A = this chain, B = another copy of it.
């Protein structure tokens, strides 16, 4: 496995650039390009392939603020999908504030990323470990994620519950949800059970009513 020595970083928050730069410097990675839009990253990656000097590694954030500029790629996920088509050998390191386990698992499983580092108190050291792992041809996924503390309570909330909460959030009433679940072959689907499950969720989150339930679910980041 060849050593990383040409890197592109897609990160819209300017104040993070220096922190990333200093890590790359430690690894004596001289060729490092910073961009603040996904579109720019894509263009540069594509061009580098064409010029026969492709990037070895893309470090990218997931969420990018919208501004006046019109863009094709709204977020890191879109970018990664597109980049995979242009450069099959490029390694991907996602660097994001997102610390929810099921989201991170999604990126490993569906986007085949090579490393995930969570922005936070330990991110500099995690970045070092991640790059070291990639240099050795391994994947990296920080074990020191805070979600281990916040998500333990969420384990009792399953995908059905989340789907149900999402339906409520979108404004469907109980009988509409029942019909939709029947159509999508989601079980259970009776209005009675849906009612009961909503009630369980309200008890679980100590919500006063369904409105409060959705508010709390959103605050906790479950939906």
Contact = CB atoms under 8 A, between A and B. Distances in A.
A200 to B, nearest CB: 17
A153 B143 CA distance: 40
A218 interface: yes
B123 A14 contact: yes
Interface residues of A, number: 43
Contacts of A208: 170-172
B212 A215 contact: no
Nearest to A99: B65
Given A211-B171, A211-B214, A14 B146 contact: no
A65 B15 contact: no
A49 to B, nearest CB: 26
Q: Which of A16, A150, A172 has the most CB of B within 10 A?
A: A16
Interface in A113-161: 119-124, 127, 146, 149-150
A91 to B, nearest CB: 19
Given A66-B150, A67-B121, A171 B212 contact: yes
A110 interface: no
A15 B16 contact: yes
A102 interface: no
A199 interface: no
Interface string A3-14: 000000000111
A36 interface: yes
25 contacts: A12-B120, A13-B121, A14-B120, A14-B124, A15-B20, A15-B123, A15-B124, A15-B127, A16-B16, A65-B120, A65-B146, A66-B149, A67-B121, A68-B149, A97-B97, A168-B211, A169-B215, A170-B212, A171-B208, A171-B212, A172-B208, A210-B211, A211-B211, A215-B218, A218-B219
Given A13-B97, A171-B212, A218-B218, 9 more contacts: A13-B16, A14-B19, A16-B19, A66-B146, A97-B97, A169-B211, A171-B211, A210-B211, A211-B214
Going nearest first, the 5 A-B pairs with the smallest beta carbon separation are: A171-B208, A171-B212, A15-B19, A169-B215, A18-B19
